[in-house]
Structure 1
Amino acid sequence: MDQFDKLLRQRAAEEPVPIPSDYAGRVFQACAALSEAPQKIHHRHWGRWLAAALALFIALPNVSTSAAAAMTEIPGLGALVKVITFRSYSYDDGHSSMDILVPELSGSDAANAVNQEVRTYTDELLTQFYRDCERVGDGYQDLRVSSVVLANTDTWFTLRIDATQTEASSYAFSRFYHIDKATGQVVSLGDLFRDGAEYTAVLSDEVRRQMETQLSADRTLAYFPDDFDGIDPEQNFYFDAEGNLVLVFDEYGIAAGSMGMPEFTMEKNIYQSLLKEKYQKG
């Protein structure tokens, strides 16, 4: 507890917006208001103090970003204090409309880095949207941006941002942001693999094989395997529940719009030997 107390006090002292002066009092008042049978009070007075301390520990990161950051520096506590808020933008002039709701993360330098990337990305979308408003005039256009947290374990975090632009037709695309909590780093696809590993060739061959297999089984599918030059070195991806790598393509990227956003699951045995050692154990 000494290490925790020292770090928390240091960060709290630097907090630009102080914690409300009556915050702790509110916590203890709430705990004191809990009804208990008189005969059990002497057995359970420790429980009250423990409940108060636990309530303060859980709530503190939500009222103090410095406290949250301090907690992430305590070994084993980082995964407990991930705080998520939201930034939203909306617009509707009767012709063009826009609705953006994206999360803002806190708790680590990597989370701040993701925030900056998401801000840059959404700012680009907003700038293009307002340019399109001038271009289409009284015509119709729409932009929708939403998000989902795909993973938030003790060691890994994945945020997915989905966007859909609609004018004469719609176009859907996504961006994925990953944090390796073990290293505290933001991770892209290339970071998973050993230097010099031919991961793009191996994964591209598997995507091409799956497209051709699916087309052979169902000729109504509209993949474009002949136009597929290979995956991008920083291809969108996520890990499924079994730990397999899933590659995600934007709409129209490798197939007709009717195919939506194609996803291809890469079995571990295809690429595992190419991974950096620390990821081979995952």
Structure 2
Amino acid sequence: MSKMDKLKNDYENIEIPEELDRVVRASIHEAKMKQRKKRPVSRNIIIGAVAAAALFIGSINVSPAFAKSMVNVPLLGSIVEVFTVQQLKVDEGTYQADVYTPIITGLENEELQAALNEKYVKENKELFEQFEKEIAELKELGGGHLGVDAGYEVMTDNDRILSIMRYQVNTVASSSTTMQYDTIDKVDNVLITLPSLFKDDSYIAAINTYIADEMERQMAADEMISYFTDNEYGEGFTTIKPDQNFYITNDQKLVISFDKYEVAPGYMGVVTFEIPTEVVRDLLVSDVYIQ
């Protein structure tokens, strides 16, 4: 069995911890307690390594043949990588599924890495098993249409930040789209949460005000843009959740994300708002992540 096949097999047979949240929290706490000093590295070396990693990862995801040819090539130091470990697929006419599962390698915090990878495998296994169950039920009733498309995209990958977006599109009569994000500090090896970026929960009101004003501005500028607001759709948008979906861009900007139908009609799809740093600057714990 090749190294790549063994890795795939290992993750397909992972036993999922019953208290995954506890594992993640414990690993974050442990990482925060360890303030290790990092040896300075030449900027040119970092840029070259990151560029090589990006090319390598992209090739794995695009070409399975390339992935197999790279099995015996040594990894570049401790570079953090994301690639597809498993694809679950169904192509039966009116029943369509295409589910890609990512894994992360190279994090120094191996417990956090394992917890995230186990979560990704668990989510997609459960999604695919539910899809198969629903197909069986539809066939008993005489047939129907059912589709699921799930995968991931690396939104940010720089010297410090790794942001991974996982999406799920379910199609029956219409489609729904949900997103989940994980943002990781690769230097301090911690999972970054939205509340952890701020001194207290005053960030919620500040971001709410900006988003509400931005919704009105966009709708006034373009009649094709529509949001659920107090004026048109009853209650409409009122607030983000304390743990609202977010990611951090390569330019160190905070982006807030809403699922399809969450704050806008379905034709608007997934909606994101990049929050100007001046809106939250005084509320941030530091400027390490957001600038």
Q: Under a length normalisation based on structure 2, what TM-score does the superposition of the two structures give?
A: 0.65
> AA paired with 2:87?
S
1:225 is aligned to 229
SS of alignment partner, residue 244 of structure 2: coil
Q: CA deviation at 1:95?
A: 3.0
Contact 2:94–2:144 at 8 Å: present in 1 too? Answer: yes
C-alpha separation between the residues in 1 aligned to 2:250 and 2:210? 20
SS of alignment partner, residue 224 of structure 2: coil
Deviates further, 257-266 or 92-101: 92-101
Task: State the Cα deviation string for residues 105-127 of structure 1 (Å, max 9, x = none).
Answer: 11222332221222232233223
> AA paired with 2:105?
S
> AA paired with 1:234?
D
Matched, 1:265 2:274: yes
2:192 is aligned to 187
C-alpha separation between the residues in 2 aligned to 1:83 and 1:207? 32
Q: CA deviation at 1:278?
A: 5.4
Q: CA deviation at 1:251?
A: 0.5
Q: CA deviation at 1:219?
A: 3.3
C-alpha separation between the residues in 2 aligned to 1:122 and 1:281? 31
The higher-RCO structure (CA 8 Å, 6+ apart) is 2
1:37 is aligned to none
Contact 1:111–1:179 at 8 Å: present in 2 too? Answer: no
Residue pairs, 1:142-221, within 5 angstroms = 142-194=147-199, 196-221=200-225
Q: Which runs of 5+ in 1 are unaligned?
A: 1-15, 18-57, 72-76
Q: CA deviation at 1:81?
A: 5.0
> AA paired with 2:246?
F
C-alpha separation between the residues in 1 aligned to 2:290 and 2:257? 23
1:82 is aligned to 81
> AA paired with 1:204?
N
Q: CA deviation at 1:253?
A: 0.6
2:125 is aligned to 123
Residue pairs, 1:243-282, within 5 angstroms = 243-277=252-286, 279=288, 282=291
SS of alignment partner, residue 238 of structure 1: strand
Contact 2:104–2:117 at 8 Å: present in 1 too? Answer: yes
1:102 is aligned to 101
Q: CA deviation at 1:165?
A: 1.1
Q: Which runs of 5+ in 2 are unaligned?
A: 1-5, 8-55, 57-69, 231-235
Contact 2:248–2:289 at 8 Å: present in 1 too? Answer: no
Contact 1:114–1:186 at 8 Å: present in 2 too? Answer: no
C-alpha separation between the residues in 1 aligned to 2:160 and 2:208? 27
SS of alignment partner, residue 182 of structure 1: coil
Task: State the Cα deviation string for residues 210-248 of structure 1 (Å, max 9, x = none).
Answer: 111112223332210221131111111122343221111
Misfit runs of 4+, over 6 Å? none
Q: CA deviation at 1:152?
A: 1.6
C-alpha separation between the residues in 2 aligned to 1:163 and 1:281? 28
**1:179 to 1:281, Cα distance in 2 relative to 1, 3 A:** closer
1:22 is aligned to none
C-alpha separation between the residues in 2 aligned to 1:239 and 1:280? 8
C-alpha separation between the residues in 2 aligned to 1:140 and 1:270? 45
SS of alignment partner, residue 175 of structure 1: strand
Q: CA deviation at 1:166?
A: 1.0
SS of alignment partner, residue 155 of structure 2: strand
Q: CA deviation at 1:258?
A: 0.8
Q: How many residues align?
A: 213
Q: CA deviation at 1:204?
A: 1.6
SS of alignment partner, residue 225 of structure 1: coil
Q: Under a length normalisation based on structure 1, what TM-score does the superposition of the two structures give?
A: 0.67
C-alpha separation between the residues in 2 aligned to 1:239 and 1:281? 8
> More helix by proportion, 1 or 2?
1
